[in-house]
């Protein structure tokens, strides 16, 4: 092949991107060296590996907010991921940052999420001796569990962005990682409002007026305001931020959602049952570890039973966890 697409793309990055962008040629590389792809940059290759992974496909049957929603229009963990990726790409392009890196981080940021959303995290944290966090689990998925234990061998920058995308952890090492952190918050607050209104948990007139006055009354208006504020306050700078006014309104809207939706008994009333279901599965395999699939036997031998059980249960979809629970604990005549 005379024309080398990867090298051309690498040269384009040098010429077109911001001086604060992460150039793929400056990547800290992979944990294991590989022959470069002749067509794709390493960051583009990472994105493709994530999209083609088993854990990415399972996101379509994992809860976002509403447990096992009956409607076809509620978000799942997969549709949330796609919305985060879309917002991330928009920001990266406008700020002349690395779109491939940003998209790879966005596509992989929730791979470690448990079934039943954050209630699944709470369940595993309650039975294990360590706190289960989905961001750290996402890195385990790509490093340790995918490809039957071989891992995806992604670049440092993608792994770092995935590990740092949620609140309470270390800051991302790249601006692209920080974009995904902001995009995740923008996406989930606004699409959860839409889902809550559809579910009858919220009325459109219940949203706080002071937040809507600054951000906008519709989902589209709010997302546009937030994106524009990031662009206006971050372009040409070595930071990602919103204006103080917009950031405060966004945080107030987030606080409102926690009070009115995320902790609302109507929305989360079934969470206790979901948590108990996972706890019962954990206790079963704790007593019968021989029933774990082969991959998790290897994890158990190398890292202990607790780690293997959490890895196995976290990888389940809502549907699979419920089906397995029925097989183990519900008599066939009652199903």
The whole-number pLDDT of residue 26 equals: 98
Q: Where are the alpha helices (DSSP H) in the chain?
A: 5-16, 42-51, 54-58, 77-94, 99-108, 118-127, 134-140, 156-163, 175-198, 209-215, 219-234, 244-257, 265-268, 271-287, 294-303, 305-314, 318-329
Question: 231: domain range?
Answer: 5-334
Asked if 235 and 294 count as a contact pair (C-beta separation under 8 A), the reply is no
Residue-wise pLDDT for 291-333, tens only, equals 999 999 999 999 999 999 999 999 999 999 999 999 999 987 7
Q: What is the 8-class DSSP label of residue 258?
A: I
The whole-number pLDDT of residue 33 equals: 95
Planar angle of CA 320, 153, 15, nearest 5 degrees = 120
The whole-number pLDDT of residue 75 equals: 84
The whole-number pLDDT of residue 64 equals: 80
Distance CA 211, CA 248 (A): 9
The CA distances from residue 257 to 121, 260, 274, in Å, are 19, 5, 21
> Which residue positions in the chain have pLDDT lower than 50?
none
Distance CA 53, CA 56 (A): 5
Asked if 63 and 192 count as a contact pair (C-beta separation under 8 A), the reply is no
The whole-number pLDDT of residue 72 equals: 67
Task: Quote the distance between the C-alpha of residue 308 and its chain's center.
Answer: 21
Residue-wise pLDDT for 254-266, tens only, equals 999 999 888 877 6
Residue-wise pLDDT for 188-208, tens only, equals 999 999 988 988 889 889 999
CATH number at residue 64: 1.10.3210.10
The whole-number pLDDT of residue 1 equals: 60
Structural domains counted in the chain: 1
């Amino acid at each position: 092949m005379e024309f080398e697409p990867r090298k051309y793309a690498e040269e384009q990055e040098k010429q077109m991107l911001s001086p604060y962008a992460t150039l793929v040629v400056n990547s800290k590389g992979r944990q294991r060296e590989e022959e470069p792809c002749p067509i794709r940059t390493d960051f583009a290759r990472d994105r493709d590996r994530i999209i083609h992974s088993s854990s990415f496909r399972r996101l379509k049957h994992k809860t976002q907010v509403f447990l096992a929603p009956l409607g076809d229009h509620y978000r799942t963990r997969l549709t949330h991921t796609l919305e985060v990726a879309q917002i991330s790409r928009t920001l990266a392009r406008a700020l002349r940052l690395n779109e491939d890196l940003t998209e790879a981080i966005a596509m992989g940021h929730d791979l470690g999420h448990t079934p039943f959303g954050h209630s699944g995290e709470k369940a595993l944290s309650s039975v294990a001796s360590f706190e289960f966090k989905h961001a750290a689990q996402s890195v385990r998925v790509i490093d340790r569990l995918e490809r039957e234990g071989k891992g995806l061998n992604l670049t440092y920058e993608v792994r770092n962005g995935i590990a740092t995308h949620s609140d309470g952890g270390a800051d991302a090492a790249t601006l692209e990682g920080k974009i995904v952190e902001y995009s995740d918050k923008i996406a989930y607050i606004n699409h959860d409002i839409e889902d809550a209104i559809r579910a009858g948990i919220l009325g459109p007139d219940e949203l706080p007026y002071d937040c809507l006055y600054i951000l906008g009354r519709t989902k589209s208006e709010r997302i546009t305001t937030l994106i524009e504020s990031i662009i206006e306050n971050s372009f040409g700078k070595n930071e990602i931020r919103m204006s103080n006014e917009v950031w405060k309104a966004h945080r107030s809207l987030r606080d409102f959602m926690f009070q009115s939706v995320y902790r609302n008994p109507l929305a989360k009333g079934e969470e206790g049952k979901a948590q108990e279901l996972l706890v019962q599965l954990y206790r079963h395999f704790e007593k019968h570890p021989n029933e774990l699939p082969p991959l998790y036997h290897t994890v158990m031998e190398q890292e202990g039973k607790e780690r293997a059980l959490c890895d196995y249960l976290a990888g389940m979809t809502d549907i699979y966890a419920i089906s397995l629970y029925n097989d183990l604990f519900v008599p066939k005549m009652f199903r």
